[in-house]
Structure 1
Amino acid sequence: MADPTRIVIIGTGLAGATAAGELRAQGYSGQLVLLGQDTHRPYELPALSKGILLGEATDPDWVHDESFYAERDIDLRLSTVVSSVGDHEVVEAGGTRHPFDRLLLATGSTPRRLEQLPGAGLAGLRTLRTLDDSRALRAELTAGTRVVIVGGGWIGCEVAAAARSHGAEVTVIDPVSLPLRGVLGDTVAGVFRDLHTEHGVTWRLGTGVTGFTGESTVTGVSLDDGTTLPADLVLLAVGAAPRVELARAMGLDLAEGGVAVDAGLRTSAPDVYAVGDLAAHDHPRHPGRLRIEHWANAKDQGAHVARNLLGAHDPYTASPYFFSDQYDLGMEFRGLADPATDELVVRGDLAAREFIAFWLRDGAVRAAMNVNLWDDGEALGALVDNGVRVEPAKLVAGDLASMMG
């Protein structure tokens, strides 16, 4: 495989910008083009549902300083739409062409909008994905505003916490019986339900949405139990869809809703790689393919793929990781759990919201979540990464560092 002289990255989010920076750090001196539709230079997403909405920050965490790209001869092209990818050539909508030796797809994902429901086009229906989304939403989260959140996942819960901190009236709707149930299972999900209830959130769980009411602007959310919730603002937090349009047009193999990549993040096409939300990864330590929509995955895959773009083929083996902050609860989650079948082991005090939850499969630790406890991160990472087999009683009361494997 000849050394590349021209690398093009499509996507100016965290994954793409991290890859560009790491390519220069690895000594790559060839042409490097970074294309994306956003009007802002690359930034990280966590602050959008946390610090910015809480009013603790006005800007996100920028991936690099503003001068970084010019100083390292990275051709950063914002507000740029790619219309097609041909044989080793990217074409912008305006006609500009970018030949490449290697191409990285880091196009991310876009929020789902429930477009099939009546009233889905009304003003006042918000999603949260971009810096502009976050700033606009923050301006509307004021005391007394009736906020209805459709979806009790991580984004829905974090926005609920931010909205309550500003005195908004918050109702969260979800068709399942507990928020975050699919990720955490009943026991731990109950902790988050109770946390929000104590802070004044109204839950409409086990309830579906049938449409939205209003003339030009949304005024209510219709539910499948026949009731309508009044709303000044509605946030749709029902997941995101990978942006696979270019990949599909290129004829790349798709999987798990995204682009199929091998252990080294290479797609089915020669010289084309994919990372972040887009990548359905053949992970060496997990069966099947993983497509992870979390900050750490985008950052770590972006950094990892740089060496492979330069000719290596190192497998990406990192465990999934994410974090959340809601009111006075902070947590970190490592690994991949199946709460429906994995054995749950809890160390600490659920009621006090100071605990570590472990999920075991066939006696091995597959995932761990620390809540308001911060001293055992290294041990938890090792337990998950190594799939350590350990007796539940030792996890509850033993020295975690001694079990790292």
Structure 2
Amino acid sequence: MTAFDRHGLVIVGASLAGLRAAQTLRERGFTGALTLVGDEPHIPYDRPPLSKRFLTDVDRPSGSELPVPETLEARWLLGRAAVGLDPVARTVTLSDGARLSYDGLLIATGSRARRWPVSQPPPPTGVLTLRGRDDALALRAGLASAERLVVIGGGFLGGEIAAAARERGLDVTLVEAATQPLEQAIGTTAGAYVAALHREAGITVRTSTVVEGFLPGPDGCLAGVRLSDGTTVRADLAVLALGGVPATGWLAHSGVVHDGGVLCDPCLRVLRADGSVVPGVVAAGDVARVPQPLADGEPLALGHWTNAVEQGAAAAETLLAEREHGRTPTPFMSVPSFWSDLHGAKIRSVGLPSASDDARVVEYDLAGRRLEVSYHRAGRLVGALTAGRTGRLASYRRALQERLTPFSPDSPQGFRSDPGKPSRTRS
């Protein structure tokens, strides 16, 4: 009997990364027992549309479900969250008290929406978050009856919600604590470009401003949002778009390093506090904090669609390598990418703009909906972003991919960023 033939594999997280891992396992010939655990009652669905067409379609949107092959032959435990992990006994405890034994485990629990601080008075009815399908349904219903919306947080999610609401004709105010939307993710110049797009669409953008509290009306529902500059914005609906928090609470007593995400080695194997690998456990997607060669090996959790797909497949390959005793797993090497569509501008990025210390503007044309910025760290290319210039990203991607050179999967970083490669950038 080989490893994984007794209890099989368990995937905790029945969303994009978990589904892609399950598909890869079957495609690579794994025929053992396969169980997927999900805290939501829904079959896997695509999340990016939830802040876009799901909110704007006239008819109730459908078709966001991810295709599940009939040949997957998996056991689905949906609506049952994982609440504990014992990596010594190799068991996962579920919210209904059930315990699942595993030979191999993939952690793909993603992230949850950051909520209003518990130290503050609780917000009134009409203050929402957006993470899952049920959240999107509640927000869609709110937009149908609201007139004034305040979006708190100018990141990609907040910007897309604001754009969708404006498309529906609402009066929209976007509140951002930084000097520009997305400043931490893509820099000041590109952030200013995004802010200009919002303002052109009729959205009021309040930067360098934070929300200090909410004002309820006589009926207990939201009536206004109080800002740090002393003003109050009238609103009958608000959305907290304050970023995501890795869903790792269930790992609290497992010995797994899970602060800010599950810490992994370059092969996506989960690590203990002493740096040793937890046998038979890997992680993928939003929850996985993986060394990034473009950030000099710093472990980062990346909440992007392509990252979840690619890591899900790579984590499955690592599990299979462990099944085949003596086969060394392959380090995960991929150039990150993300996209967003705002007010007719197709924003696309490769690499890690957030890891840069220098942003070089190649083109800035607001009227033509065109933008190109390259990002550098210690003089080396680490990323690029375009709007309306998607074709230009291919050369950037090639340059970044050529610099990802593995030197040892047992190294703390597992990669070497080669400073000798010239950066193909226009500045």
Alignment of structure 1 residues 68-79 onto 2, 5 Å: 68=69, 71-79=71-79
CA shift, 1:192, in A, is 0.8
Report the more deviating stretch, 51-60 or 20-29: 51-60
Is structure 2 residue 25 aligned with structure 1 residue 23? yes
Q: Distance in 1 between matches of 2:372 and 2:264?
A: 33
Q: Distance in 1 between matches of 2:193 and 2:250?
A: 41
Q: Distance in 2 between matches of 1:22 and 1:154?
A: 29
What is residue 284 of structure 2 aligned with on the other side? 275
CA shift, 1:327, in A, is 1.5
Q: Give the one of 263, 267, 275 matched to 1:264.
A: 267
What TM-score results when the alignment is normalised by the length of structure 2? 0.86
CA shift, 1:24, in A, is 0.8
Report the number of matched residues: 390
Q: Distance in 2 between matches of 1:320 and 1:62?
A: 24
1:302 counterpart letter in structure 2: G
What is residue 213 of structure 1 aligned with on the other side? 215
Report the more deviating stretch, 176-185 or 160-169: 176-185
Give the superposed CA RMSD.
Answer: 2.2
Q: Give the one of 92, 105, 108 matched to 2:107.
A: 105
Question: Please, which runs of 5 or more residues in structure 1 have no aligned partner?
Answer: 397-405
Q: Give the one of 361, 373, 382 matched to 2:377.
A: 361
CA shift, 1:21, in A, is 1.2
Question: Given the superposition, is the C-alpha separation of residues 55 and 119 from structure 1 closer, same or farther in structure 2, using an over 3 Å criterion?
Answer: farther
Q: Distance in 2 between matches of 1:76 and 1:64?
A: 15
What is residue 39 of structure 1 aligned with on the other side? 41
Q: Distance in 2 between matches of 1:32 and 1:108?
A: 19
Alignment of structure 1 residues 125-144 onto 2, 5 Å: 125-142=127-144
Deviations 1:154-203, CA, capped at 9 Å, x for gaps: 11110111000000010011121211111222221111111110111011
Q: Give the one of 249, 252, 263 matched to 2:253.
A: 249
What is residue 408 of structure 2 aligned with on the other side? none
Q: Distance in 2 between matches of 1:90 and 1:361?
A: 41
Q: Distance in 1 between matches of 2:188 and 2:63?
A: 33
SS in 1 for 2:371: strand
Q: Distance in 2 between matches of 1:391 and 1:340?
A: 16
Q: Distance in 1 between matches of 2:177 and 2:72?
A: 49
Is structure 2 residue 298 aligned with structure 1 residue 295? no
Q: Distance in 2 between matches of 1:83 and 1:338?
A: 33
Question: Given the superposition, is the C-alpha separation of residues 13 and 144 from structure 1 closer, same or farther in structure 2, using an over 3 Å criterion?
Answer: closer
Report the more deviating stretch, 242-251 or 146-155: 242-251
What TM-score results when the alignment is normalised by the length of structure 1? 0.90
Is structure 2 residue 242 aligned with structure 1 residue 233? no
Percent identity of the aligned residues? 34
Deviations 1:236-273, CA, capped at 9 Å, x for gaps: 00111101112222110235x11110000011221111
Q: Distance in 2 between matches of 1:98 and 1:13?
A: 19
Question: Given the superposition, is the C-alpha separation of residues 111 and 218 from structure 1 closer, same or farther in structure 2, using an over 3 Å criterion?
Answer: same
Q: Is the Cα contact below 8 Å between 1:147 and 1:234 reproduced in 2?
A: yes
What is residue 63 of structure 1 aligned with on the other side? 66
Question: Please, which runs of 5 or more residues in structure 2 have no aligned partner?
Answer: 272-277, 322-327, 404-420
1:294 counterpart letter in structure 2: H
Question: Given the superposition, is the C-alpha separation of residues 72 and 151 from structure 1 closer, same or farther in structure 2, using an over 3 Å criterion?
Answer: same
